[in-house]
């Protein structure tokens, strides 16, 4: 990463129809960090995440204002090439959604649609991506079998590998371990910590302990507003805001 901040947000507001979901957010997300986004249900965590790769565009009545600068480009601009943006900012969803293709074809999907055709290069990328998520040894002998035959945890790691195969600089995780059992969850969490060296990871989670274990910085949103953003350790032990303290100790509202 060449710049200090992966994402620089300034005055970001998002509406869905008449609903004012994100209210005037301003913050800078440092590169090569794991940043957790926490907050009560409906506070706009997922909306914030999906703004960073413009996936909110898929919903009707979506409107945004303000600026979000990634690699020197304001991606909140309506003329942004969202397709190119999504190569730089990858996403893993809450419910794993591997394609009903083979494991190999799932990983190769992204590179292929971006123009990589040579079999050797693709095979390299597949191996590299699967290794980064710790799946290579488990599946190297059955790359041609359907991705749907993998377990839930494996599928989610596959989706991560699929996102990494495209070569993003920022990886967005939307509650990646919610649907997984504790063991699979711990595997994912280990992975997230490792990813920090190569990527900037922004992760939405409703699990406070997970946020505390895994992230370097934490962003706390409440009703679409930025309440507090700081180093995880500090936010969880000595929160500056009362709202934050109420939330993390469970005494919300």
Which residues of the shown chain bind another protein in the complex (CB under 8 A)? Answer: 53, 55, 58, 60, 83-87, 90-91, 93, 95, 97-100, 109-110, 112-115, 146, 148-149, 159, 162-163, 166
Min separation Cβ 132 and another protein, Å: 16
Strand partners, 222: 225
Nearer to another protein, 159 or 217 (CB): 159
| Positive or negative: CA dihedral 144, 147, 153, 156 | positive
Min separation Cβ 26 and another protein, Å: 26
What would the two tokens of residue 41 be? 């249900």
Nearer to another protein, 87 or 196 (CB): 87
Residue 31 dihedral angles phi and psi, to the nearest 5°? -70, 160
Count of C-beta atoms within a 10 Å radius of residue 113: 11
For β-strands 217-222 and 225-231, DSSP reports them as antiparallel
Quote the CA–CA distance of 202 and 224 in Å, as a whole number.
Answer: 17
Count of C-beta atoms within a 10 Å radius of residue 4: 10
Quote the CA–CA distance of 214 and 191 in Å, as a whole number.
Answer: 10
Nearer to another protein, 93 or 136 (CB): 93
Min separation Cβ 119 and another protein, Å: 17
Q: Are 69 and 149 in contact (CB under 8 A)?
A: no
Nearer to another protein, 18 or 58 (CB): 58
Q: Which of 194, 123, 133 is nearest to 163 (CA)?
A: 133
Min separation Cβ 241 and another protein, Å: 33
Nearer to another protein, 50 or 222 (CB): 50
Min separation Cβ 167 and another protein, Å: 10
Nearer to another protein, 75 or 166 (CB): 166
Min separation Cβ 79 and another protein, Å: 13
Quote the CA–CA distance of 49 and 101 in Å, as a whole number.
Answer: 27
């Amino acid at each position: 990463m060449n710049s200090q901040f992966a994402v620089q947000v300034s005055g970001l507001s998002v509406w869905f129809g008449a609903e004012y979901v994100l209210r005037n957010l301003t913050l800078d997300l440092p590169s090569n960090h794991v940043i957790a986004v926490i907050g009560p249900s409906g506070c706009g965590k997922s909306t914030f995440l999906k703004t960073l790769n413009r996936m909110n565009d898929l919903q009707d009545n979506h409107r945004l204002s303000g600026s979000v600068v990634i690699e020197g480009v304001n991606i909140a601009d309506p003329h942004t090439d969202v397709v190119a943006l999504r190569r730089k900012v990858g996403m893993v969803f809450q419910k794993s959604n591997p394609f009903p293709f083979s494991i190999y074809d799932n990983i190769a999907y992204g590179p292929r649609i971006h123009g990589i055709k040579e079999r050797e290069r693709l095979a390299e990328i597949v191996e590299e991506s699967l290794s980064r998520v710790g799946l290579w040894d488990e599946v190297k002998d059955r790359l041609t079998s359907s991705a749907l035959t993998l377990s839930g945890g494996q599928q989610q790691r596959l989706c991560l590998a699929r996102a990494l195969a495209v070569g993003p600089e920022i990886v967005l995780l939307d509650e990646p371990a919610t649907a997984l059992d504790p063991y699979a969850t711990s595997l994912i969490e280990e992975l997230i910590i490792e990813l920090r060296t190569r990527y900037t990871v922004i992760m939405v989670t409703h699990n406070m302990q997970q946020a505390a274990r895994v992230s370097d910085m934490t962003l706390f949103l409440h009703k679409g507003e930025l309440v507090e953003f700081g180093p995880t350790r500090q936010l969880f032990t000595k929160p500056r805001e009362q709202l934050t303290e109420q939330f993390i100790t469970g005494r919300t509202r």
